[in-house]
Structure 1
Amino acid sequence: MSVSIFDSFLTTTDMIAVFDDTAIVQAMFRFEQALSQAQADEGLLPPTAARAIAAVCNAQLYDIPAIITAGRRAGSLAIPLVKELTKTVALYDAEAATKVHWGSTSQDVIDTAMVLATRDALQLLDDGLFDLTGRLLQLAEQHLATPVLARTLMQPAQVTSFGFKLTGWLAPLVRSRARLRECAARALQLQLGGAVGTLAVMGEQGPAVANRVAAILGLKVADAAWHTQRDEWVRLGLEVAVLSGSLGKLATDLSLMAQGEVAELAEPSGNGRGGSSAMPHKRNPVSAMIALAAATRTPQHGAALLASMGQQHERGLGNWQAELAEWPGLFLSAHGALQALNDAFLGLQIDGSRMLRNIDALQGLVFAEATSAYLAGVIGRPKSHELLEKMTDVAISTQRHLADVLTEAVQADPALRDHVDLMHLRTLFDPVAATAPAHRLAQQQLQSLRSDIAALNLAHTFHQ
């Protein structure tokens, strides 16, 4: 698989290699080799024929661009590949050449090759999630009591805990890691059905051959051929799309918190990272940019997978081929986003002092709800709400802190002065104390997430 210069900019060389033309062709040869070996083990062809076929199932022996070009004319990459494999086997064993690809069909070869490649791609995603979730967990535990502004509708709302925010970024990634495992357990299965899915050519020995091929390749044996039953496969692809969406959400928050006017977070810099060709002062959040690009592109890939599911009868015409073309893009984007964010969080700069300054700059207005709730116990909710509305207007118009404005109002009103504990009222404006509710919730959720991550780390592989 070749990718454009702009695709390669948004992904990783490791994921490109998984879906590279040579890798996919080699995976197709792995299927052919496993098929001949399984058939020999079941007595359907001589062991010498299986050895002759296996000896030339090496992508390096073939003109892959020529096979791809011929595949366009033939309507399937497998047709010229099998033709070239047969010709090559015939050079050494004419009888064995008659047994190449016996009882199989083009879609068996290609789908199984894509399953093998996808298994490698999933391992890359899992490795990346291992790193990112571990780092996020560590940071969340460190910052449970770090005050930061929570923002709703892009406006300052209340004070929360940065650890709580990190936990919110972490949780969907842990869920995606688990869902990918669950979906893969069902979707990474052998495709072997022959012409119309019935294994007719191999007769009663067909299921036994399928079991052997699956064992050789380390894949699950499907209940039946899934040539046009794409539900489990598409579910897996859509879970990758969901992962990209979760990474995009994280990247959105990171980019907003890294804005110069906010400056609560900063991606690593140096060695040309995040610079500008025109403005030397710039420190661009390039990791967030790559993850956002992935999240922007992913919905189209997911929609194409869903659109391709209405395949005709026992073999799709156009829709299966569209699915094949869209599939790698999901993984290329997801891994690009994942690697970029791992790079960012490895050296992420967290400015707790700036977080406090941003809170202080709002003159205590973000504590209005907590203060109103306290005063409601003294003068009732309607009067409390009315009082806070007035006092916030005063604080804004006079550029004073709400705590000072409220203190004066309480001292000037005998009905309030005798019932309001001014010392307690002032504590309601303490940013660290304000993190307590978020701190408790995050601590509870982190306990569960820590357990989930540990369980996932015990089975850190997609390969049998």
Structure 2
Amino acid sequence: MSHLYASLFYQAEVTEIFSDQALLKYMIQAEVALAKAQAQVGIIPESAAAIIADVADTQGIQTINFESLATAAGLAGNIAIPFVKQFTAAIKAVDEDAARYVHWGATSQDILDTACILQARDALTIIEVQLNNAYAAAIELTEKYRDQVLMGRTWLQQGLPITFGHKAARWADSLKRDLERLEQMKSRVLTAQLGGAVGSLASLLDQGSEVVEAYAVQLNLSAATCTWHGERDRIVEIANFLAIVVGNTGKMARDWSLMMQTEIAEVFEPTAKGRGGSSTMPHKRNPVAAASILAAANRVPALMSSIYQSMVQEHERSLGSWHAEWLSLPDIFNLCAGSLERTVEVLQGLEVNAQNMQRNIETTQGLIMAEAMMMALAPKIGRLNAHHLVEQACKQAVAEQRHLYAVVCEIEQVQQHFNREQLQQIFKPESYLGNIQDQIDAVLKDAKGEVK
């Protein structure tokens, strides 16, 4: 992870959670919880568990030599094996008898998986705060701009009028679903791992289940019904949730970056000294937050491919598949938190140009109201006839570079059914917004916790 790019793509607190130092702290936390749980059940002496916990509290990761650990990990195949050796040596220096009970009955993957879940829990706590902040900002935009008419676009072309509040409401609704997904998955994924060599905890004789329960309580995690060394759906679900969040923020970033185009100029990212400039073009105001978010949205699917492939594992514990998670999952977490940080920043400080929104509505000289005109005529002359008549009027308006309203006013079949005042009403964009306000009301009610 490049330090130079950290402020562009990542979020400081989550980056710290997935640092080497933090990983070792979580591994020590898992070892202490294991000792305390086994002492509680009566497998190891309480005095041994107390010494293990005391050394962890007083010395922590200072008991670990990072340089030798990194070297040994390449030979051992994971960092847990040399880590346990060093941690045991630190305990032995204080009490030789207590050192006998470090890592009792566990396997390397128990400690690494549990540390990973502890990292995920702390990182998800930060992400949940970020999601709530983004949701609140999107709701504020929804309320403020619910009546601000805006061009709705399909296939990058002008379609029909919407409101900017409706676009913000859709952003908000996706963020609310993200929050719901997060809450729903916590009990499934935040689960301690303890199974021993092949998942049977045979080394603990008939007390394995008791230790698993006590171990989970010590860590404030769920206790697994079965060991999950080879079943990686929990890790995949966490990563999948993060990927959805990144995709949703990417959608928003795509929207506002397109709206920032010079010819559109409907919204702008917040300004700051040194932000969004060009090395050669002094006039530029680039969507730099969108660039970071969209880069993450480009990167995360590739990382997810590795996570999904890691689900197919051999027997009770895998060769290589589990190891691939160590590289992919932290990066997905970092990119998700970074994307959310920039999304919150933009949503809270977004500059909206209502005048340009109105200007862009008039760009096509009324063509965007062709469907409204057709639907008004359809009950009078039939839908197919109305479609053909308005289509011809559109072609004429384009060819003559005239406003569609002016062309329609001259058509005899139209004159038979509508006067100019009625036609003016039909051509008002705000009169053809469908149920947008109902949708906005529903989103706002959800935000206030009201029942639909």
TM > 0.5 between the two?
Answer: yes
Letter in 1 for 2:73: G
Which deviates more, 242-251 or 385-394? 385-394
What residue identity is the alignment partner of 1:66? S
The residue that corresponds to 1:258 in the other structure is: 260
Deviation at 1:3, TM superposition (A): 4.1
2:63–2:86 contact (8 Å) kept in structure 1:
no
Instruction: Name which of structure 1's ranges 196-205 and 114-123 shifts more when overlaid on structure 2.
Output: 196-205
> Contact (CA 8 Å) 2:63, 2:87: kept in 1 or not?
no
2:53 aligned with 1:54, yes or no?
yes
- Match of 1:229, SS state, is coil
2:111–2:193 contact (8 Å) kept in structure 1: yes
Structure 1 residue 55 displacement after superposition? 2.4
Residue aligning to 1:237: 239
CA contact (8 A) 2:196 2:202 kept: yes
| Aligned-partner Cα distance in 1 for 2:9–2:372 | 44
In the TM superposition, residue 75 of structure 1 has moved relative to its aligned partner by 0.7
Question: Distance in 2 between the 1:65 and 1:262 partners?
Answer: 54
Q: Percent identity?
A: 38
Query: In 1, distance between residues paired with 2:256 and 2:22?
Result: 35
**For residues 4-43 of structure 1, what are the alpha-carbon distances to aligned partners after superposition, in whole Å with 9 as ceiling and x for unaligned?**
5335531111111010100010000001111111111222
Task: Give 1:53's aligned amino acid.
Answer: I
Q: Secondary structure at the match of 2:5?
A: helix
Q: Could you tell me how far 1:270 is from its partner in structure 2?
A: 2.3
Which residue of structure 2 lines up, in the alignment, with residue 9 of structure 1? Answer: 8
> Is residue 56–residue 85 contact of structure 1 (8 Å, CA) maintained in 2?
no
Q: Which amino acid in the other structure matches residue 333 of structure 2?
A: F
User: How far apart are 1:183 and its partner, in Å?
Assistant: 1.7
Select which of 81, 84, 96 maps to 1:82: 84
Contact 1:147 1:356 in 2 (8 A): yes
In structure 2, distance between residues paired with 1:165 and 1:217: 42
Contact 1:356 1:431 (8 Å CA) reproduced: no
2: CA distance, partners of 1:253 / 1:353 = 18
* 1:379 match: 381
- TM-fit CA distance, 1:353: 1.2
Residue 162 of structure 1 deviates from its aligned partner by: 1.3
Contact kept? 2:408, 2:414, Cα under 8 Å = no
Per the TM alignment, residue 436 of structure 1 is displaced from its structure 2 partner at its CA by 4.9
Alignment deviations for residues 48-83 of structure 1 (CA, whole Å, 9 cap, x no partner): 211221222211332223212211210111000000
- Output aligned runs, 1:22-421, within 5 Å: 22-57=21-56, 58-409=60-411, 413=412, 415-421=413-419
After superposition, give the CA deviation of every residue in 1:376-424 in whole Å (9 maximum; x if it has no partner): 2222222221221121112112222111111122xxx2x5433223312
User: How many angstroms does 1:330 deviate by?
Assistant: 1.0
Structure-2 residue corresponding to 1:461: none
Deviation per CA, 1:278-318, whole angstroms, max 9, x where unpaired? 11111111111111011101101111111011111111100
- Deviation, structure 1 residue 194: 0.9
Structure 1 stretches of 4+ moved >6 Å = none
Amino acid of the structure 1 residue aligned with 2:53: A
Asked if structure 1 preserves the Cα contact closer than 8 Å seen for 2:10 and 2:339, the reply is yes
Length, aligned pairs only: 448
Paired letter, 1:293: A
Aligned-pair CA distance for 1:438: 1.8
Letter in structure 2 aligned against 1:110: L
Instruction: Please tell me the root mean square deviation across aligned C-alpha atoms, in Å.
Output: 1.6
Which stretches in structure 1 are left out of the alignment for 5+ residues? 455-464
Where does the alignment leave 5 or more consecutive residues of structure 2 unmatched? none
Counterpart code for 1:379: I
Specify the alignment match of 1:458 in structure 2: none
1:451 aligns with 2:439: no
